[in-house]
Amino acid sequence: LISPEQIETEQGRTVRFVGLALPKSASDLRLLWSLPDGREKTDSSFVDVDTSSLEPGSYQVVLRVTDRFGRKASAIASLVVRPAVNVHLEIHPRSIQAGREVQFEAKTSPALIDAEYNFHFTDHNSSGWLGVSKADYKYNDPGTYYCFVEVRKKGRIIATSEKKGVTVVPVPEPGEELAVYLSSNASKIFLDQNVTVSVKTIPQREDLVFRLDFGDQSEKDQWSELAMTTHSYSDPGIYRVKAYVRTPKGKIFESRELVINVMERTTSPSSFPDWGFWLAAILFAVSYGVFKIKRKKNKEESGRFERSGSEVRMKLKSDEGAQEIICEKALLQGPEIRIHPITDLGIQETQEE
């Protein structure tokens, strides 16, 4: 026999099955357990089954018994694994004046049918088991209250939410008004960065104390005379920050919510230099190439001018008088024409026509 013969549990839990061989006086028995995950266990009167690796569904646990004479017997137990249930508690608003109602709503994953909900508003007050996933509650006294919700099905609690805080502030008395403004040095930060939050009041007063709620699970800051605080977050997400200001008479004023987006830092997929660097390098290369081409062209033109003088030839007459200069090519205009001396007697002259 196996006890229990049938059991239903939530995924991730461990259940125990106990085997019993009859008659109890039987000795030298060999026990073999066959488990849902394919493993086997021998010579033990009980076995623990961890459902963490099992998908939701129905399974069998088999016990086979063999005595010293080779006689065999077996028993089968049924194991039903349900999906793990997560419950999330939503509170609207998280901060409210005394005497006003707060709305509570439980959301489960996966969604449940025919489930019951018990909202715990304080340590001593709860809604009792309800057939709906919503409830309202009114706080008459200022303070911070921690709330959670339980979910059950077929009389058994299957999930419990985490605790969340509700801040209840006193109703301001007539005659004293104070506007509270909240600002930060950044609306988006990475996990390894801090955010600095500042509180400002209108009118400005020097007899006020401040408290900040950064919207995470960290402990709330204590009342302080400092209107500026630095904070860091341990998890990425979108957080709603609020500031509370208390006067010497005990009156508390609050600011509007300030949203802070906390992101995980990711590495850049590329390590290439900026495109501006490459653009500047290309422009420099093109400019240098144009400069070299122009410089080469100017040298060639200068060379042609210098060589033009060497192509002038002079045909001298044997008699005295004017001499004639003959050019094989057109004579380029230049600063001067130089004529080398001749070896015969007399003075030679040149005359341009």
Q: Which residue has the higher pLDDT, 15 or 176?
A: 15
User: Residue range 45-63: average pLDDT?
Assistant: 86
pLDDT in tens, 343-353: 555 555 554 44
- Taking 90 as the threshold, does the pLDDT of residue 292 lie above it? no
Q: What is the mean pLDDT of the chain?
A: 80
Query: Beta partners for 31?
Result: 65
In the Cβ-directed half-sphere of 204, how many Cα atoms lie within 13 Å?
Answer: 3
User: Residue range 38-66: average pLDDT?
Assistant: 86
**pLDDT at residue 24, as a whole number:** 59
Q: 101: which 2 tokens?
A: 């109602």
Q: 323: which 2 tokens?
A: 């001499």
d(CA 256, CA 199): 11
Tell me the longest C-alpha to C-alpha distance in the chain.
161
